[in-house]
Amino acid sequence: MRIETENLDNYRKSCREFLKREIVPDHQAWEENGLMERSFWEKLGKSGLLGISVSPEFGGQGKHDYRFAVILTEELIKAGVTVPGIVAHNDVVASYIFALGTGEQKKRWLPELCLGKRVAAIAMTEPGGGSNTADIKTVAERQGDYYVVNGSKAYITNGFNADLIVVAVKTDEGQQGQGISLLVIERDMPGFSRGEPLKKIGWNGSDTAELVFHDCKVPVTNLLGRENLGNYYFMSAMPRERLSISTVAVASAENILQHTLEYVKERKAFNQSIGSFQYNRFILAQLDTEVKIARIYLDNAIALFNQGLFSLVDAARIKLWTTELQMKVADRCLQLHGGMGYMRDSIAGKNWLNSRAQTIYGGTSEVLQEIISKSMGL
């Protein structure tokens, strides 16, 4: 146990030092440009921060304990670095390929993803639909050794930068929710284009774009897993994705609460610190209690995930709870900062803007409550 703790502590230290040295100085420029520099990904790869759970055989770090991924996320939050693009690349796409890819596909794609030489994205959401895969309209028709893909995807994280995109396509009408397959579409494939980076209200350092496929020819060898089982794969991978989002939520809530505590002790109003007013003290006491509960909840979920016991319903519950709490903490803390908190470049303001997306992607709070209520027999 002592060796295990030392390994985790050393990894946290290396993450913190790397981010402070290599990333933080450039991050403001990325937020202004709405795009992470390509060199950033290669720096991450060289530092061993990509492909955390991927086997060393394919260029990864072979760290299957999910706490290593958690540590990277926590340190990104503390450093004020945009998180979604890294989570999509690391926790989602690399995991999909490592779990579902053939030996040839893993050798072809994973080493460059782990080195940051190629950037990854996952594309499920479409302009006219959201969380329901049964509504997917992007179609892939098998023609000999190729699939011909037609359709579009919207709000795709890393969409502008991505070289490798796991795309959900309809390959069979079948029953509702079935007939979905996963194709890996690569940069410069004929018939694939993308729009300019979209202008979001938060997470501005992470590029987001629309993807368009017009008679896009994709080799059959780029089919990930088996045809028509895409929906099953999504359900299998969803717990990890939602646990990643929950990690961002708890780390963000802890970070802004700590920053706010420091602020209210220094900021004066009516000849006393604003933190000393009873109403403010009680608000902070409530937030502190709820955030600590969320941390215990998250740590338990991580332990279950490491044991293979973390279910789809477990993931729905923790994402619902932690992301809604993150929004609550962000809002209360901005209020305690007063006018300064409403400034776009303030820590409180940025945190508030970034928090808003958390209850939307990875399954909206409304969809999560549907999943939870159905598990209760309702």
Give the total residue count for the chain. Answer: 378
Instruction: Determine the Cα–Cα distance for residues 68 and 117; give it in Å rounded to an integer.
Output: 22
Active site residue 241: yes
* Strand 120-123, strand 164-170: pairing: parallel
The CA distance from 375 to 4, in Å, is 36
Under 8 Å between Cβ of 314 and 298:
no
On whether the CB atoms of residues 341 and 349 are closer than 8 A, the answer is: yes
Q: Is the dihedral of CA 189, 182, 113, 39 positive or negative?
A: positive
CA distance 267 to 124: 46
> Of the residues 31, 74, 126, 241, which is catalytic?
241
Tally Cβ neighbours within 10 Å of residue 175.
8
- Hey, which residues are catalytic here? 241
